[in-house]
Structure 1
Amino acid sequence: MVLKGIDRLGNWNPQLLRELKGRLKGRNIAIALIISLVGQFLLFFSWSGDHPRRHLSELEIQLWWQDHYRDIFISLSLFVLFALLVIGSYMLIANLGHEERRGTLNFIRLSPQSTGQFWLGKLLGVPILLYLAIAITIPFHLWFGLSGKITLTEIISFWVILIASSGFFFSAALLFGLFGSWFSGFQAWLGSGAVFAFLLMANFKPIDNSSFDWLSLFSPSVLFPYLVNETNSRYTGFPFHLGKIQAWQFFNLPLGMMGLSIVVLTLLNYGLWTYWIGQAFNRQFRNPGTTLLSKRQSYLLTACWITFTLGFALQEPTSGYSYPFPDNFYIVLGLNLVLFLGLIAALSPQRQCLQDWTRYRHQNRSTVNSSLIADLLWGEKSPGLLAIAMNLMIVVLPLIGWILLESVDINVKLQAFASLILSLIMILIYGAIAQLMLLMKTSKRGIWATGIVVAAIVLPPTLLSVLSIFPGQSWGGLWLFTAFPWDYVMRHASVGLVLQAFLIQVIILGGLNWQLTRQLRRAGESATKALLAGRLPLSN
């Protein structure tokens, strides 16, 4: 019977069977279970010392124990959340990096199993001992929750969101693990550390009626105020400070009024972004030389991104803390900068792809010149700069509508327009720099592209700050040429200075594009000459 079950499992998902056979050893299972039980008992006994010494009435004793069990429930939930997501991410990244270094990953790519089978096998198989350790906490978790007067439906909703969050973070970990060779074995610590830092940020961030409220949807602890029925006042209880969560809105809809609406939108958020990570993983796993996303996929992803960032920005001011329109608008610009840095990395082809594309255009110039724009917008191997510009347009149109409809002074609207235009041109400049770096002949061109773009973003504001050149001071206009020109535009910039900065940025962008076109033409001509000479061009 057991052998039949194993055979069926192997036929259904060979990768999962491979992972389970390597991990489900008696000694490993015993260690995982002992660690889980010891951890739970230590947690329980650490709370037991808080029993009040003074005499209480029977009713007071009952209420005290109810609050006490509720606090233990939240503590155990927090422990499970961080243990599962952080340790699980570490295990998956380390495992994929190990596969890459051993060379077995390329063998798996050539096997008949689908990418979905590989992905599911890794997700279910690699952290299997962690899953067993977490499963042992369920009876205690249920007991503490029910004893704390938390309903079974609420407890189940937490576990459903925790499972959805695992799918998101673990899928992101697998995608990150595909680039393991870049970090020489350090990627597992880097990736799991990033997950830990992100969860801390998402959990500690209060609801403040800005686009930053979107980050709270990525943390299962967003349900804690609803589980303990502390949504009517500023939630400052253990373990986090979420603020007045009832004021949370999405496109002015009262998202925070009901726990059910939080559960539904959180699951939708996790499902949507897990899907996009899966699309990138599928492309990168099957063909490591291709871009992470197709240009068509990037347009849809950008539409999803601006929907969420703008949805949380369009909130009615409340009696609590709320950002004014300019600050909220600049938060949206900052989040969009994060998006486009990712798109630059996801849409910029490597040198070999660009060589193939330019060779194709040189050999078929009479038939493809008319479709150059379409090729740049939709082609798999064409440069990604025009596609990045198209994604910028997808973002710009809703933001322009927001600026026009916002009830603010005309000068504030003009400042927002100026900040938007300058920010978009700087993003195109970063995209052109990245594509030029990816045309280098060195094998480390990806690292060079990443380093140069990061330096172009980080170094200018850092140097200006070190030199005590701040907006409003002499030479403060240099902030207009950084990735963060918003404060200077809002407070100090004149129309003439903004126009000068715009013209200089356009000249820089034009020069980079001219150089990019020149490099592409040279790469195409050299590849074509080598082909006509009867020899293959050297791979770089």
Structure 2
Amino acid sequence: MKQNIRLFSTPNSLWSKLLDSNPQLFREIQGKLKTRNMVMVAAIAAIVQFITVIFLLGQLPDLKLAATQCGRYGMTVIYQEYSNQVCYAQNEAGNWVINWQLWWLDLFIILSIIGIFALLVIGTYLLIADTVREEERGTLNFIRLTPQSAGSVLLGKILGVPILVYTAIALLLPLHLVAGLQSHIPLTLILAFDLTVLASCAFFYCLALLWSLLDFGVSGLKSWFASGLLGFLLLFATAILVDGHAKLAHFLAWTLMFNPAILLTYLIDASHLRFGTIDFLSTDNLAELSFYGQALWTKTTIGIGLIFLNFSLWTYWCWAILKRRFHNPEKTILSKVNSYWLTAWFAPIALGFTLQTESNLATIHDDTYLISNNFIFLQVCLSLFGLGLIFALSPHRQTLYDWARYRHQNHGNSLWKELVLGDNSPATVAIAINLAIAIIFITPSIFLILPPSYQYIFWGLILSTTNILLYAVIAQFLLTLKTRKRVIWSIVAVASMIILPPVCLGVAELTIRTIPQVWLLSFVPITATEYVSFAAIAVAILGQWLAITVISLQMTRKLKQAGASETKILMNRVNTLSN
């Protein structure tokens, strides 16, 4: 019973050519498209559709009751003192008049959300679990030695590993399409929605593969952690969309762009159902979301295009990193040159979502207060981005030692050129340049848009960047240790520096208003700069730079000693062999 499904009927078919051109895809599909698996997938898809349809049919009026019935799919509104009720009316033939367009639209929305969760959550779990399993068995190293390119192998995994999920979604598509057309949604919008969902799959699947290739020493938890976190975030974001009353004039609304379910707003609007019948985010809510003050998401074509572009650009970066890391896992995640381009791309986008205003704010003061709060979120986002750069640019211990030993052989490269452009050198200088790029983009908006009373935000930004530099040198120093768990130790050390200070200060009841000077050294110093003098800020910055300098000098001394000692060992071995 475990025979493979026949994948193609003629040797010259398009499917056959695709499999021949990508052996990894053929390998994945051959192992998963078994008769038993296909039957189980078909049964699950049929059960999901059956339960969904039965649930919605249960919301319709009881045909046996002649009394007045009220429900979601009625066509008559009964106005009451406190709330209105939608009830069913009977036509001349005695049949209940039902809003079938709304019924089909609900079916379309439910199937769409089920499909999104299945593709993203289950698909990422399968990809990570499969890659980790092959890494542990050693088969992934064997694949790396084959003549296949990194792009071919990775594409084969993305298309092949979740093939059963793709099959289940394909079985849901006919009812999904019929429900959309019956709810009067144009076919072009349905296809645009499906295409954007595929773009989101490309992004999250590339991110899942990248996560699976990172070595943290806890490979068994990778798949559960990543898929569980993604499922929670998608559930939270979808709940905001379904609520229908979300305020989007803030920085965090940008994260909704990573949930393809937001496109349902445009599809629901195209159905032209009357206002109030759908509990979902409306295009009026999307008008609050702006980019550099421009409400770009009110137009359907532009909104869908921007969301698709968002997924495409992030997929490009993830794909470039994957191709870099696949054949050489010892390489840094990002090259230093690419990190500069990434920061120069990320900072203007983040700033664009910071400069938002609410149209219903009463005064300019309220408007300024909203933007200042967005700058706090921007500072947190940049700090998280900086933490990502620390682990994306920091080379491993052996790479650093090799660089320290052989650097003098590169006569054409100066030390500063190596630190700025060389991928094997310590990452501190490159991280400082990335943070400087971000500050250059953000600083003018602080001084040009905000009044002088809010310019403490600038000093909070400076303190946060020096914090990131301090975390960077500590993480890089710990990565030079001989212990096997040095990556975990560096993560724990940085996480402790972020979490423990506010926890200890909170337990001691030392709030930002009572002793703000101590909070200047926290992960979010911008919350304390409002309550301290310039002298306190200067002392904090000098203290951070003193710590950065001391740790950097210690790491430099250690690298020199390691390079000299290993060179001496090699020379002794050469002398021994010659004797």
Query: What TM-score do the two structures reach when normalised by structure 2?
Result: 0.87
Q: How far 1:281 moved relative to its partner? A: 1.1
Q: 1:70 aligns with which of 105, 119, 124?
A: 105
The corresponding residue for 1:217 is 257
For residues 395-444 of structure 1, what are the alpha-carbon distances to aligned partners after superposition, in whole Å with 9 as ceiling and x for unaligned?
Answer: 001111111210x321211x011101111100000000110011001121
**Percent sequence identity over aligned pairs:** 38
The corresponding residue for 2:526 is 486
Q: Judging changes above 3 Å, is the alpha-carbon distance between structure 1 residues 518 and 232 closer, same or farther for their aligned structure 2 residues?
A: farther
Q: Judging changes above 3 Å, is the alpha-carbon distance between structure 1 residues 392 and 447 closer, same or farther for their aligned structure 2 residues?
A: same
The corresponding residue for 1:470 is 511
The corresponding residue for 2:57 is 48
Q: How far 1:238 moved relative to its partner? A: 4.2
Matched, 1:382 2:431: no
The corresponding residue for 1:9 is 18
Moved more, 179-188 or 162-171: 179-188
For residues 478-501 of structure 1, what are the alpha-carbon distances to aligned partners after superposition, in whole Å with 9 as ceiling and x for unaligned?
Answer: 1111111121112x2122221221
The corresponding residue for 1:498 is 537
Give the RMSD, CA atoms, in angstroms.
Answer: 2.5
The corresponding residue for 2:406 is 360
The corresponding residue for 2:314 is 273
Q: How far 1:529 moved relative to its partner? A: 1.6
Matched, 1:117 2:117: no
Contact 1:377 1:387 in 2 (8 A): yes
Q: How far 1:211 moved relative to its partner? A: 2.4
- Tell me the amino acid that sits aligned with residue 394 of structure 1: I
**Alpha-carbon separation, structure 1, partners of 2:136 and 2:340:** 34
Larger RCO, structure (CA 8 Å, separation 6 or more): 1
**Alpha-carbon separation, structure 2, partners of 1:461 and 1:159:** 44
Contact 2:199 2:308 in 1 (8 A): yes
Q: Give 5+ residue unaligned stretches, structure 2.
A: 1-8, 63-68, 70-87, 241-245
The corresponding residue for 1:19 is 28
Q: 2:474 aligns with which of 430, 433, 443?
A: 433
**Alpha-carbon separation, structure 1, partners of 2:282 and 2:298:** 17
The corresponding residue for 1:528 is 567
**Alpha-carbon separation, structure 1, partners of 2:216 and 2:532:** 45
For residues 486-536 of structure 1, what are the alpha-carbon distances to aligned partners after superposition, in whole Å with 9 as ceiling and x for unaligned?
Answer: 21112x212222122122112112212121222222222212222222369
Q: Judging changes above 3 Å, is the alpha-carbon distance between structure 1 residues 525 and 154 closer, same or farther for their aligned structure 2 residues?
A: same
| 1:392-471 alignment runs, 5 A limit | 392-406=435-449, 408-413=450-455, 415-471=456-512
The corresponding residue for 2:356 is 315
Tell which structure's C-alpha radius of gyration is larger: 2
Q: Judging changes above 3 Å, is the alpha-carbon distance between structure 1 residues 234 and 389 closer, same or farther for their aligned structure 2 residues?
A: farther
Q: 2:345 aligns with which of 304, 311, 314?
A: 304
Q: Judging changes above 3 Å, is the alpha-carbon distance between structure 1 residues 401 and 330 closer, same or farther for their aligned structure 2 residues?
A: same
Q: How far 1:237 moved relative to its partner? A: 4.6
| 1:119-268 alignment runs, 5 A limit | 119-179=154-214, 182-205=217-240, 206-229=246-269, 237-238=278-279, 244-268=285-309
Contact 1:376 1:384 in 2 (8 A): yes
Contact 2:395 2:424 in 1 (8 A): yes
For residues 123-151 of structure 1, what are the alpha-carbon distances to aligned partners after superposition, in whole Å with 9 as ceiling and x for unaligned?
Answer: 11011111010011111111111111222
**Alpha-carbon separation, structure 2, partners of 1:88 and 1:405:** 46
Contact 2:284 2:298 in 1 (8 A): no
Aligned residues: 529
- Tell me the amino acid that sits aligned with residue 300 of structure 2: G
- Tell me the amino acid that sits aligned with residue 491 of structure 2: T
Q: Which has the larger share of helix?
A: 1
- Tell me the amino acid that sits aligned with residue 377 of structure 2: I
Q: Judging changes above 3 Å, is the alpha-carbon distance between structure 1 residues 525 and 117 closer, same or farther for their aligned structure 2 residues?
A: same
Q: How far 1:242 moved relative to its partner? A: 9.2
Q: How far 1:241 moved relative to its partner? A: 8.8
Q: Give 5+ residue unaligned stretches, structure 1.
A: none
Contact 2:288 2:358 in 1 (8 A): no
Q: 1:371 aligns with which of 414, 423, 431?
A: 414
Q: 1:29 aligns with which of 38, 57, 82?
A: 38
Contact 2:404 2:559 in 1 (8 A): yes
Q: Judging changes above 3 Å, is the alpha-carbon distance between structure 1 residues 339 and 88 closer, same or farther for their aligned structure 2 residues?
A: same
The corresponding residue for 1:341 is 387
The corresponding residue for 1:96 is 131
**Alpha-carbon separation, structure 1, partners of 2:266 and 2:28:** 38
Q: Judging changes above 3 Å, is the alpha-carbon distance between structure 1 residues 148 and 302 closer, same or farther for their aligned structure 2 residues?
A: same
**Alpha-carbon separation, structure 1, partners of 2:417 and 2:292:** 34
For residues 252-298 of structure 1, what are the alpha-carbon distances to aligned partners after superposition, in whole Å with 9 as ceiling and x for unaligned?
Answer: 22212112111111111111111111111112111011100100110
For residues 221-253 of structure 1, what are the alpha-carbon distances to aligned partners after superposition, in whole Å with 9 as ceiling and x for unaligned?
Answer: 111222111999999954669981122212222
SS at match of 2:329: coil
Contact 1:358 1:521 in 2 (8 A): yes
Q: Judging changes above 3 Å, is the alpha-carbon distance between structure 1 residues 104 and 535 closer, same or farther for their aligned structure 2 residues?
A: farther
SS at match of 2:287: helix
Q: Judging changes above 3 Å, is the alpha-carbon distance between structure 1 residues 7 and 509 closer, same or farther for their aligned structure 2 residues?
A: same
Q: 2:547 aligns with which of 475, 485, 508?
A: 508
**Alpha-carbon separation, structure 2, partners of 1:134 and 1:270:** 20
Q: 1:391 aligns with which of 410, 424, 434?
A: 434
**Alpha-carbon separation, structure 1, partners of 2:147 and 2:18:** 16
Matched, 1:105 2:122: no
